[in-house]
Copies of this chain bind each other. A is one copy, B any other.
Amino acid sequence: MIKSRTKLQIIEAAAATFSRYGFKKTTMDDIAFAAGKGKSSLYYYFKNKEDVFEAVAEHEAEILQLEIEKELEKIDKAVDKLRSYITLRMRRFAAKGTLYTALSDNFLATFSFIEKIRNNYQEYEKGVIAEILQIGIENGEFKPVDVHFTGEAILTCMIGFEVPLMTKTHDLNESEKKINEVIDMFFFGLCT
């Protein structure tokens, strides 16, 4: 979390370059140039290219988390918190998706380090959703469900919505409509 001035500079330069060219096509020279440094200087701050990418991903996650916290604390009702969270998450995914999908030179492939980042982030997400559910239960808005288990279930559904965002030319608007439909189902159920 304590990042030197230069380190941050490099991370931002790398973020721009990665999201433009993807992981594989981005060279350390590219990053160094974008950051206005010599290539070897990067190795003073980072172990290797993957390490730079990890730092970028972590940094993006931190920004997103701040954004989310700021947004959520403005909202009172758990129902609205959950809706906001899901919508924000999806928009951010659509926007920054390139960064993560661009490294899909071989997609789900050998990048075990990506798995690591993703898993970390999912843990955070489960936490946020569980917290919202907990608040809702205490509020009397939600039924007393198992917040962790239900949170995971909700998250898994959200992943279904990521798939179209990653592949084809997606219509974000269409997706948002559909996701709102799902959220309503989550809240109010289909049954009469």
Report A's interface with B, CB cutoff 8 A.
Answer: 79, 104, 106-108, 133, 136, 140-143, 145, 149-150, 152-154, 156-164, 167, 177-179, 181-182, 185-192
What residue of chain B has the Cβ atom nearest to residue A139's Cβ?
Answer: B192
Per DSSP, are chain A's interface residues mostly helix, strand or loop, or mixed? helix
**Does B181 lie within 8 Å of A186, measured CB to CB?**
no
A186 to B181, CA, bound (A): 11
| Chain B residue contacts of A185, Cβ below 8 A | 150, 153-154, 185-186, 189
**Does B156 lie within 8 Å of A160, measured CB to CB?**
yes
Given known pairs A187-B190, A188-B191, A191-B143, the reply for A181 and B153 (CB within 8 Å) is yes
| Chain B residue contacts of A189, Cβ below 8 A | 185-189, 191
A178 to B107, CA, bound (A): 26
| Chain B residue contacts of A154, Cβ below 8 A | 182, 185
**Does A190 lie within 8 Å of B143, measured CB to CB?**
yes
Task: Give the residue of B140, B163, B190 whose beta carbon is less than 8 angstroms from that of A142.
Answer: B190
A108 to B143, CA, bound (A): 39
What residue of chain B has the Cβ atom nearest to residue A133's Cβ?
Answer: B190
A104 to B106, CA, bound (A): 10
- 4 nearest interchain CB pairs? A189-B189, A160-B160, A159-B160, A157-B157
What residue of chain B has the Cβ atom nearest to residue A179's Cβ?
Answer: B153
> How far in angstroms is the closest Cβ of chain B from A172?
14
